[in-house]
Amino acid sequence: DAGVTQSPTHLIKTRGQQVTLRCSPKSGHDTVSWYQQALGQGPQFIFQYYEEEERQRGNFPDRFSGHQFPNYSSELNVNALLLGDSALYLCASSSSGRITNYGYTFGSGTRLTVV
């Protein structure tokens, strides 16, 4: 049973460019959350998608946007990249039927470097 799959694993972009990261949730999960983990920091919540809509959002600017598709997969888009956007981006999936979040399954992340 595949867990959460993220692509690409590594990415280098130039300041000002736009990037799209992709996530396929664990089988049976319908909710996708995105986190940013900067070096030496814990994961910071960006937003959560459920039923193709953004359900919750953390303290991130509008440059960060997302999408969820009918098959529950998700994309994270970041526009006008800044050097400070360099981080590990983690996708986590869960089942909407479980309010306790031990149901979160994380992917291995996409390492984004902005130069």
Residues that bind another protein (CB under 8 A): 4, 33, 35, 40-45, 48, 55-56, 90, 92, 99-102, 104-109
- In the complex, minimum distance from the CB of residue 77 to another protein, in angstroms, rounded to a whole number: 20
Q: Which is nearer to another protein, 45 or 60 (CB)?
A: 45
Q: Shortest distance, CB of residue 66 to another protein, whole angstroms?
A: 14
- For residue 70, whether the previous peptide bond is cis, meaning omega lies within 30 degrees of 0, is no
Cβ closest to another protein, residue 17 vs residue 108: 108
Contact 68, 50 (CB under 8 A): yes
Please say which residue, 81 or 90, places its beta carbon nearer to another protein: 90
Any idea how long the chain is?
115
Instruction: List, as one string, the DSSP characters of 73-114.
Output: -EEEEE-S--GGG-EEEEEEEE-TT--SGGG-EE---EEEEE
Nearest CB to another protein, comparing residues 66 and 107: 107
For residue 113, the minimal CB distance to another protein (Å) is 15
Instruction: Give the list of residues 6+ apart from residue 41 with CB closer than 8 angstroms, or none.
Output: none
